[in-house]
Structure 1
């Protein structure tokens, strides 16, 4: 019997955990770099790395290498590491949500976002009856059709803001009219997606009990009020005071603890932990921007850079392509078709009505069809809530991968670098509009 390590974990299990994390980091880095060579976001390579290390590829080799590398006793520990990285990542995403991105295009961005979300959500709900019967039971428990359909609509509605920011930067579109509009629309999309996920979480947690659902709703309203009316002003005072005193390590520790505590609170309420982390970041002060970015956001993003690749491996371990049946692959095709139709049509129509060309409107639709990491976060949340079975999870991960990967090759390229924003002649781009000085300010590590 091996001696027990701290916390009661066997030394052999701890060694396998460390080995697994090391493999995760190397595989994610290599596949991420390879993805960039094919004009893909890093996240596409990391998702692929997770799938390759899971039962779909490595598990097919003699000796079941996937199981040997990530044994059953190690997977809960990997999942715990992934959740810590995910919570800190969502805190940074909430903190980096810039309202000023939306203001210059508020009307049109709201129109594009609402149109693409409403259509995508509606098509997802319409597709639910086709898929529900084969995926209605998860771990021996029947999932209500309302919860399944609501979640499927939510999964179709997602646009990944962080991945989109990277795509725009790599394609020299960040300072263009299309780039600015898509980024503003995606910001609104992300915010609404978290609200939809919070609703699904409450729906599942209440288990159809409307009294319980009402309790969750009241507690959620109280939680949001607490964050805006109490936490927000207190955080502003604390950050300004400690930033002036340059107490960065203490401030970083307190904010990290606050993000984790907020995640615990929303879990207790009955909505997913990531909502708590996101909202805690959302109420954080944005000024002094340069100082906060240098001393707080970047260090916390670096922590996510190390921890979050484990999230992709945990996701990949749940993807089993070999378990899909012929009808499942038909379902995958339908899911991809519905996902693309909702975002493309939902973005193209308002863009055309606003006077955009067909090419620009198509580019906007493609950009809004980017899902990537945000989709995976929502899918994993659904698994933890017991809404998705293994096959449905695999089908939706494939959709997330395909819709993200198709953007780069299909996107049109500017023939010349865009003029600096504020110096163009486009009347819809006011002279005061400003793109952040550094695009990295908008791009979280796992993009």
Structure 2
């Protein structure tokens, strides 16, 4: 068969299998479609499908097909991270800076420390967790940050499902997650700092600051429809610049979005774009993630490491938010609910650890353990949070008026 035919067979599998599993087994309560797609990507990888049907796997996922799928996956995840950067509402965070700063710092700092401790235990346990290019501090800090990550786009989807996205509780959680999102990519830039290319990196950041100022002035004068087109051009250019200087194109994608204003776009338009990206191209990214997951590496040790990382991640996040709740005088129960919402990981953590794997900072065993941890932590969120939202004392739509989203300027 031709490469085109094999590519279309692969796309048929990628798009149909997760949807059928999601519908037939009705997993939406504990595993939304995005989680099923991630799990299916793992099943379609070399560790499961490749082991059971090696000839079929080698035929359908031949190198030319994988190369084509990787191109789609790179662009899909760049657009996804770009949208996450646009959705940062730092203006509102600044208005609530004491509460947001305290909560975000503790919600990020405590699980970061717990994750760093887990990473050091992994290194003491056995060899084989660190990648060939890693220094111990890069590995420890990378694992710690992976345990501290909150996946802002998936958090938005889950809160939308729970009916609290535009409610006061949802707006609070989004502010905390937005601030942590900035810290996540800043720490990634530090981890990836290459002292042999530091001149290139400083040059990129200086040029980015100047061009971003001019870009923002231009965007403010355009119609909304033109902003989307120019924004995608800006995304590709920033991704190239960041990758050229050694920071990775994902850092550039986030910077491209963060330099833009959410108020330039209608909320409904951004929501629609995010949903369409998830529907049309992100399943390809999940498959490419699965193709990196090899169960032959590590065996039972991978599951032990995943359990250790899950405990560090969830316990650290709940402890950090709990401390913030006591300091800020939150009402009873809020810290538990917010802590579980903020420990949602899935996509952003998978993107984060993919970057670490690409740069040789973690080994395949570690990548698989972190992937399992991300999926498990996300699957726990709705079953834990939904019953609490049904109880008294929790802000739900109808109990309090929702906060109106910022109004976008009208299109010309």
**1:263 pairs with 2:239:** yes
Q: Name 1:405's counterpart in structure 2.
A: 379
The CA distance in 1 between the partners of 2:234 and 2:160, in whole Å, is 31
Offset at 1:50?
0.6
1:224-243 map, 5 Å: 224-237=208-221, 240=222, 242-243=223-224
CA 1:436/1:35 → structure 2, altered by over 3 Å: closer, same or farther? farther
CA 1:217/1:288 → structure 2, altered by over 3 Å: closer, same or farther? closer
Offset at 1:419?
4.5
The CA distance in 2 between the partners of 1:89 and 1:314, in whole Å, is 15
Q: Normalising by structure 2, report the TM-score.
A: 0.87
Offset at 1:373?
0.7
Offset at 1:63?
4.7
Q: Any gaps of 5 or more consecutive residues in structure 2?
A: none
Q: Name 1:436's counterpart in structure 2.
A: 405
CA 1:128/1:102 → structure 2, altered by over 3 Å: closer, same or farther? same
Q: Name 1:275's counterpart in structure 2.
A: 251
1:248-397 map, 5 Å: 248=225, 252-287=228-263, 289-290=265-266, 294=269, 298=272, 302-303=276-277, 305-397=279-371
Q: Name 1:444's counterpart in structure 2.
A: none
Q: Name 1:37's counterpart in structure 2.
A: 28
Deviations 1:284-332, CA, capped at 9 Å, x for gaps: 2444533x854x8745763553121100001111122343333333222
The CA distance in 2 between the partners of 1:422 and 1:178, in whole Å, is 9
Q: Is the 8 A contact 2:14 2:284 kept in 1?
A: yes
CA 1:157/1:293 → structure 2, altered by over 3 Å: closer, same or farther? same
Offset at 1:216?
4.8
The CA distance in 2 between the partners of 1:300 and 1:260, in whole Å, is 17
The CA distance in 2 between the partners of 1:102 and 1:75, in whole Å, is 41
Q: How many residues matched?
A: 401
Deviations 1:42-99, CA, capped at 9 Å, x for gaps: 3211111111212343234245543333123322221111001111222222222223
**1:200 pairs with 2:191:** yes
CA 1:137/1:73 → structure 2, altered by over 3 Å: closer, same or farther? farther
CA 1:164/1:147 → structure 2, altered by over 3 Å: closer, same or farther? same
Offset at 1:126?
2.3
The CA distance in 2 between the partners of 1:297 and 1:180, in whole Å, is 15
Deviations 1:150-172, CA, capped at 9 Å, x for gaps: 21122112001111122222223
Question: Which 10-residue stretch deviates more, 163-172 or 390-399?
Answer: 163-172
The CA distance in 2 between the partners of 1:58 and 1:398, in whole Å, is 17
Q: Any gaps of 5 or more consecutive residues in structure 1?
A: 1-10, 424-432, 442-447
Q: Is the 8 A contact 1:109 1:182 kept in 2?
A: no
CA 1:435/1:302 → structure 2, altered by over 3 Å: closer, same or farther? same
- The root-mean-square deviation of aligned C-alpha atoms, in Å, is 2.9
CA 1:41/1:289 → structure 2, altered by over 3 Å: closer, same or farther? same
Deviations 1:318-353, CA, capped at 9 Å, x for gaps: 122343333333222211111112111011111123
Q: Name 1:429's counterpart in structure 2.
A: none
**1:109 pairs with 2:100:** yes
CA 1:251/1:119 → structure 2, altered by over 3 Å: closer, same or farther? closer
Q: Name 1:15's counterpart in structure 2.
A: 5
The CA distance in 2 between the partners of 1:330 and 1:301, in whole Å, is 34
Q: Is the 8 A contact 2:129 2:366 kept in 1?
A: no
The CA distance in 2 between the partners of 1:221 and 1:53, in whole Å, is 39
